[in-house]
Amino acid sequence: MACSASSSTLMAAKYPYPSNVNVANFVSIKLSHKNYLLWKTQMLGLIESQDMMGFIEGQISKLTSTIETVENGEARSVPNPEFLAWKKSDRLLRGWIIGSLSEEVVGLVVGLQTSSKVWTALLKVFARESKDQEFLLNRKLHTFQKQEKTITEYVTGFKTICDELAAIGKHLSDQDKVYWLINGLGAGYEAFMTSILRPPIPAYIDVVSLLESHDNMKNIHGFQLNPIAVSISQEVPAQPSYFHNYRGRAQYTRKNSNPRFNSRGRGFPPTSQSRPTNTPANADQSTTQPSVKTACQICGLSNHTAFKCYHRFNQAYQPKYLPQIFSTVQGADPNNADWYPDTGATSHVTDDPGTLNHLIKYHGTDSVMVGNGQHLPITHIGSTNLDLGNTTLPLDDVLVVPAIKKNLIFVSQLTSSMPYVFEFTSDSFVINDKETNQMIAKGARKGDLYALKTRPKAVFFSDRFRTATSEIWNSRLGHPSAKIIDFLSSK
């Protein structure tokens, strides 16, 4: 009896059977394709607490129902005394694991008889999926934009991405959440972004509250008028029209700066129709929809278009504002089209806004400090795709600094937003995709700097010319007189 009791004790120690354990106290979530790391952490805690790690790690191997023994010189198969104890413990552990799977995952382990096979199958499936999911979620986080969403929808969508990353064990720090949240706000929030990024950076929950308050204030006060449109309306004042193409006896006289009309005659519009009455409806319309004067594109005066301008066919005419326009134009240097990777920069920088997409004007107070201590102003912010021939290199949040001499690539920002790796040698450098090890771009060393050369933009033109008839030119020019057509034909 003592020998039998001792054998049972050893069997229970080797093959534990804790059937009274409440699994829900240890594993509170069902395994799905989004939470493998969290489920694995909870499940391992349960298995380790019950001393059953050997079943899934291989220290306790599968037993057979019979064993071979030799009695009186003959080999015989007898029942394995440990098989039933091993089977009960293994089936219990297998039941724990399968019971914590969601319906979409149970199908992956149907037909597997041991806990070790079930655990290995889940490990092979979800280990790779977790890595892919992490990459896709990081990509989604970096490209998530507010655009036409409300602040509530934008913050909710951003929190969903952060929760999905946390579900696979990749928690974002509070500062990273703040940065990526304001990174996707876009145009109209530059002042808010600048104030938030000024140290000390507030906590994420405080930034969300400040963002909602900022948006509420914008909705209350409305958007400001476009400063460009305001300046145009100030520079092109409304001009009174002194000439009317009406038939009949219509006269205009000027005395003491008070115009006086004599509207007797055929074709002159009645006074009641030409002047709006001061009714409440008109007053409301004037406040909500201010009248916009049409300015001529040739001479700049109002109340007529370029089609009716007197200077339309005057080739010698030059508007007064034309020299000022050309004085503000900055031609891009074709020899300065290369981009230089810089590990010490803090942003992508260029001097040519023509190379950027989604360009927005910068209204903040920040500037770019160069090596000599000089602060260079920032005029715009945009993004671009560098054409490298076989592929493109996306650059986001590129600063336009007209006084900068070189186009700079912020290496740290590029490697943070994309899965890229820079490798520098004595005469060149390459940019590789660390996931596929595929070369994305290659640059050469120029003096003491490494330069990435982009493919120049091609310019196409047609070499097919057709001679147009006088009727076509008459239609194109707005039906001018025959003398003008004859004059143009002689040139």
Render the burial of 6-45: b for 16+ CB within 10 Å, e for the rest. Answer: eeeeebeeebbeeeeeeeeebbeeebeebbbbbbbebbee
pLDDT attached to residue 84: 87
* Tokens at 298, concatenated: 């040739």
Asked if 385 contacts 392 with a C-beta cutoff of 8 angstroms, the reply is: yes
pLDDT attached to residue 101: 92
pTM: 0.33
Report the percent of the chain where pLDDT is more than 90.
4
Asked if 154 contacts 181 with a C-beta cutoff of 8 angstroms, the reply is: no
Biggest CA pair distance of the chain:
143
Burial class (CB in 10 A: 0-12, 13-18, 19+), 339: buried
**Selecting from 3.20.20, 1.10.3470, 2.40.70, 3.30.70, what CATH number does the domain 342-451 have?**
2.40.70
Q: Per-residue DSSP letters for 157-174?
A: HHHHHHHHHHHTT-PPPH
Q: What is the pLDDT of residues 66-97, one digit of tens each?
A: 888 877 777 788 888 888 888 889 999 999 99
* 108: pLDDT strictly greater than 60: yes
| Greater model confidence, 271 or 397 | 397
pLDDT attached to residue 323: 56
Average pLDDT of the segment spanning 433-437: 84
* Tokens at 26, concatenated: 């240890």
pLDDT attached to residue 378: 92
Q: What is the pLDDT of residues 293-338, one digit of tens each?
A: 677 877 778 778 877 787 777 776 777 655 555 544 444 455 567 8
Closest CA to 346 of 460, 126, 197: 197
Residue 9 to residues 2, 15, 19: CA-CA distances in angstroms?
11, 10, 17
Residue spans per domain, the chain:
2-131, 144-218, 293-329, 342-451
Please tell me the number of Cα atoms within 13 Å of 222 on its side-chain side.
3
| Greater model confidence, 460 or 365 | 365
Q: What is the mean pLDDT of the chain?
A: 75
Three-state DSSP state, 367: strand
**Highest averaged pLDDT of the listed ranges 98-112, 117-131, 283-297:** 98-112
* Candidate from 72-76, 153-157, 257-261 with smallest mean pLDDT: 257-261
Q: Cα(262)–Cα(267) distance, rounded to whole angstroms?
A: 13
pLDDT level of residue 344 (50, 70, 90 thresholds): confident
Average pLDDT of the segment spanning 353-361: 83
pLDDT level of residue 464 (50, 70, 90 thresholds): low
* 255: pLDDT strictly greater than 50: no
**Residue corresponding to tokens 């409806």:** 281
Report the percent of the chain where pLDDT is more than 70.
74
Q: To 10 degrees, the CA torsion angle through 110, 111, 115, 120?
A: -70
Average pLDDT of the segment spanning 163-181: 82
Q: Cα(5)–Cα(1) distance, rounded to whole angstroms?
A: 6
Q: Which residues pair with 452 in a beta bridge?
A: 339
Q: Is the four-CA dihedral 133, 139, 142, 147 of positive or negative sign? A: negative
| Greater model confidence, 255 or 292 | 292
pLDDT attached to residue 68: 81
**Highest averaged pLDDT of the listed ranges 8-22, 225-239, 381-395:** 381-395
* 165: pLDDT strictly greater than 60: yes
Average pLDDT of the segment spanning 92-121: 89
| Greater model confidence, 136 or 242 | 136
Residues 6+ positions from 112 with CB-CB distance below 8 Å: 118, 121
pLDDT attached to residue 32: 85
* Candidate from 116-120, 153-157, 224-228 with smallest mean pLDDT: 224-228
Asked if 178 contacts 202 with a C-beta cutoff of 8 angstroms, the reply is: yes
Q: Cα(97)–Cα(112) distance, rounded to whole angstroms?
A: 12
Residues 6+ positions from 254 with CB-CB distance below 8 Å: none
Please tell me the number of Cα atoms within 13 Å of 62 on its side-chain side.
7
Asked if 206 contacts 168 with a C-beta cutoff of 8 angstroms, the reply is: no
Q: Cα(475)–Cα(95) distance, rounded to whole angstroms?
A: 86
CB neighbourhood size of 252 (10 A):
11
* 205: pLDDT strictly greater than 70: yes
The one-letter amino acid code at 324 reads Q
The one-letter amino acid code at 153 reads E
